[in-house]
Amino acid sequence: MVLYNVTMNVEKEIESEWLQWMKETHVKDVMNTGYFIECKIFQLLSEEPQGTTYAFQYFAKSAKDIQTYQDTYGAKLQMDVISRYGDKVMSFRTLLKQVL
């Protein structure tokens, strides 16, 4: 199993609306691509002055599935977030493989 982790820091003033949109629209759009088998959302417990940080963890069967997702859908779905929220949301992505 491979984990595609998207960590996002969101400004407090848009957090509630953003999180609702992410859960109701964006995560569903990502999952509907068919490349992931599960998604979990975590909120960092530490307080940060620049906003709240969330980790969106998308689980795939293989790194190839994630690469195909990125090549086919990634840029468009990332642009959906950027065009909607601009610099009020900062994100970075990492890939992790399961070892146990």
Domain ranges for the chain: 2-97
pLDDT digits (tens, 9 = 90+) for 33-67: 999 999 999 999 987 788 999 999 999 999 999 99
What pLDDT does 50 receive? Answer: 84
List Cβ neighbours of 86 (8 Å cut-off, separation of 6 or more): none
- C-alpha to C-alpha distance for 31 and 58, rounded to whole angstroms: 8
Across the chain, what does the average pLDDT equal?
Answer: 96
- C-alpha to C-alpha distance for 74 and 3, rounded to whole angstroms: 15
Give the pTM: 0.93
- Chain mean position to CA 61: 17
CATH class held by domain 2-97: alpha beta
What pLDDT does 49 receive? Answer: 81
